[in-house]
Amino acid sequence: MIAMSAIRHVAVLVASADMLFGCGSIGSTSDVAPSGVQAPLRGSAVGLGHVLTTRNGGQIFGFAIDVQSKDGILATATDIETFNAKSGRILASFPTETPPGTTYSLDGIFTGGVALVTRYVVPSGKIFAARHYDLIDPFTAKRFTGKWKPPLRDINVEQAGPNQSAATTALYAIELKNQDLPVLIVSNVQKNTFGKVIGLDPSSFALGDQPQLAQDTATQQAVLATSPDGGRVGGEAPVNLLIDLRTGAQKQFNGLNNGPFGSGFVNGLAVDSTTGIAATTTELNAQVELYDLAKETGTAVQLPCTGDASQDNSGGGVANDPINGFFLVTDPVYCDGSAGSAIVVYGEKGNLVETITGFTFQPGQSPPLIDPKTRIGWVSGAAPDQLQQFSY
pLDDT at residue 363 in the model: 84
CB proximity list for 157: less than 8 A, separation 6 or greater: 5, 107, 116, 118, 133, 171, 172, 173, 185
Kindly tell me if the per-residue pLDDT of 13 is higher than 70: no
* DSSP H or E run through 195: strand 193-199
Kindly tell me if the per-residue pLDDT of 290 is higher than 50: yes
Kindly tell me if the per-residue pLDDT of 228 is higher than 60: yes
Give mean pLDDT, residues 1-22.
Answer: 32
- Asked if 46 and 354 touch (Cβ cutoff 8 Å), the reply is yes
Kindly tell me if the per-residue pLDDT of 193 is higher than 90: yes
* DSSP H or E run through 204: helix 202-205
pLDDT at residue 42 in the model: 57
Residue 128 belongs to domain with CATH number: 2.130.10.10
Number of domains in the chain: 1
pLDDT at residue 337 in the model: 95
Condensed to tens digits (0 to 9), the pLDDT of residues 85-131 reads 999 999 999 999 999 999 999 999 999 999 999 999 999 999 999 99
Kindly tell me if the per-residue pLDDT of 22 is higher than 50: no
pLDDT at residue 364 in the model: 80
pLDDT at residue 35 in the model: 33
Kindly tell me if the per-residue pLDDT of 36 is higher than 70: no
- Mean of the per-residue pLDDT values for the chain? 90
Kindly tell me if the per-residue pLDDT of 25 is higher than 50: no
Q: Domain range for residue 180?
A: 2-391
pLDDT at residue 43 in the model: 54
Reported as a pLDDT band with limits 50, 70 and 90, residue 10 is very low
Give mean pLDDT, residues 201-214.
Answer: 98
pLDDT at residue 197 in the model: 98
Q: Could you please report the per-residue DSSP string of 79-98? A: -EEEEETTT--EEEEE-SSP
Reported as a pLDDT band with limits 50, 70 and 90, residue 16 is very low
This prediction has a pTM of: 0.90
Q: Could you please report the per-residue DSSP string of 333-364? A: S-TTSTT-EEEEEEETTS-EEEEEEEE---TT
